[in-house]
Amino acid sequence: MNQLFETEETPEGTQTLVPGVAPTTEREKLEKRMSGPLRGSSAPCDRGLFDDGARAQLDMLDLI
């Protein structure tokens, strides 16, 4: 059987290697993620200036 492309076995199965196309390295994947915009998590930020519970407290002198 005459194969046009080389193949390799991976945990996902047989992969075809196309001449002139290099696989994406882990470094390239990480660099792409780092160059993208920063995104926060969906959890609320309840610390410091953003702590709504602490800002809602009354001052001791307001009660007098």
The torsion of the CA quartet 9, 10, 14, 19, rounded to 10 degrees, works out to -80
pLDDT of 53: 74
- The overall average pLDDT reported for the chain is 79
DSSP 12: T
pLDDT single digits (tens) 30-50: 999 999 888 877 777 777 777
Residue matched to tokens 């610390």: 47
Instruction: Decide if pLDDT at 2 tops 70.
Output: no
Q: Tell me the average pLDDT across 18-40.
A: 87
